[in-house]
Amino acid sequence: MKPTTGAFEKTPGWLDWFERPAKPRFVLPPGAVDAHCHVFGPGEQFPYAAERKYTPCDASKDQLFALRDQLGFDKNVIVQATCHGSDNSAMVDALRHASGRARGVATVKRDVTDQALQAMHDAGVRGVRFNFVKRLVDFTPQDEMMEIANRIRAWGLHVVIYFEAVDLPELWSFFAALPVTVVIDHMGRPNVAQPVDGPAFNLFMQFMQRHDNVWSKVSCPERLSLSGPQALNGEQQAYQDVVPFARRVVETFSDRVLWGTDWPHPNLKDHMPDDGLLVDFIPHIAPTPDLQHKLLVDNPTRLYWPESL
Ligand code: 0GY
């Protein structure tokens, strides 16, 4: 059991992240970016937010950087998790200690000052996250989010959105009106029990087709899968029910997809993935070296390190 430090008690049933992930068999290309991961605390240094819906075990920047090296990634994009609310200090501290090898996505409220936005940008923040998943956050009015989206244009920041597939019809017009690049977390969380060419996932594909400022992370098979990590027919193809969904997105929008581990995997109750196994999932959804390079290197570099191109 990993600790939660400070005056905090882990949420009951919380599964801790894998301490010794397998070395992936899939060798990541040089310059590969883990474009969705988090840091949690440590709680005694960076207390969890009062309004949080869960209390994780600590997962520090040093542990994240060790994972990066173990898996063979070159860089990270660290996404503010809801357990830290709009206090971005743990994430920003990680950016400041990453020697330029991490960028961040923050959570901000309407009252964020220009000075605070500037300081976050200087540290490496390149996006702001709007969360619509009801079990994770309290309601924020859309006019507040739109005001933020308009303000962050001055720093060239993008918006990351996290929502459930059933909510896309209702949120469509708001998402379509966002005046910046938009990155969707985890393919909009499709229900993979439904057909990959059924109405719900077709709607998601249509949304991306109609809006060329919209990108998608093809991450979190462990969160979406119903078939799980088991080897099937003697073959090691984990999360096989997610493959057609992620592959369809990668093959259709190869210049607008990102991949990330989602380490340390908040809120998983049934099974905690081995991050090495997650990396071995990549060639199933991006089957050619060209697609792999776009997904892991070209796209995240263009979005998060454009100055290096
Ligand atoms: C993820 C997924 C989850 C949690 C959060 O910020 C968060 O707390 O994003 C989730 O529970 O589905 O991307 O980490």
CA dist 51 → 45, 82, 84, 136 (Å): 18, 9, 9, 10
Please compute Rg for the chain using Cα positions: 18
Which residues make Cβ contacts (< 8 Å) with residue 16, sequence separation at least 6? 1, 2, 57, 264, 272
34, 52, 133, 222, best to mutate for ligand 1 pocket (most atoms within 8 Å of CB): 133
Q: Does residue 157 have its Cβ closer than 6 Å to ligand 1? A: no
Buried b (16+ CB within 10 A) or exposed e, 87-107: bbebbbbbbeebeebbbbbbb
CA dist 299 → 26, 56, 250 (Å): 19, 30, 12
Q: Does residue 34 have its Cβ closer than 6 Å to ligand 1? A: no
14, 38, 261, best to mutate for ligand 1 pocket (most atoms within 8 Å of CB): 38
Q: In what order do the strands lie in the sheet with 33-37?
A: 33-37, 75-79, 102-106, 125-131, 158-162, 182-184, 214-217, 257-258
Give the rounded distance of the alpha carbon of 210 from its chain centre: 23
Q: What share of the chain is helix, strand, coil (3-state, %, to 5)?
A: 40, 15, 50
pLDDT, position 232: 47
Closest CA to 136 of 79, 198, 179: 79
Which residues make Cβ contacts (< 8 Å) with residue 263, sequence separation at least 6? 17, 34, 37, 38, 59, 64, 67, 275
Q: How far apart are CA 87 and CA 49, in angstroms?
A: 7
Three-state SS at 39: coil
**Full-model pTM:** 0.97
Q: Does residue 266 have its Cβ closer than 6 Å to ligand 1? A: yes
Per-residue pLDDT of the chain (309 residues; tens, 9 = 90+): 788 999 999 999 999 999 899 999 999 999 999 999 999 999 999 999 999 999 999 999 999 999 999 999 999 999 999 999 999 999 999 999 999 999 999 999 999 999 999 999 999 999 999 999 999 999 999 999 999 999 999 999 999 999 999 999 999 999 999 999 999 999 999 999 999 999 999 999 999 999 999 999 999 999 999 988 875 455 557 899 999 999 999 999 999 999 999 999 999 988 999 999 899 999 999 999 999 999 999 999 999 999 999
| Contact criterion met (CB below 8 Å) for 178 and 184 | no
| Contact criterion met (CB below 8 Å) for 259 and 217 | yes
Q: Which atom of ligand 1 is nearest to the CA of 219?
A: 13
pLDDT, position 80: 98
| Contact criterion met (CB below 8 Å) for 176 and 141 | no
Instruction: Look at ligand 1, atom 11, and give the residue with the nearest C-alpha.
Output: 267
Closest CA to 109 of 135, 93, 126, 131: 131
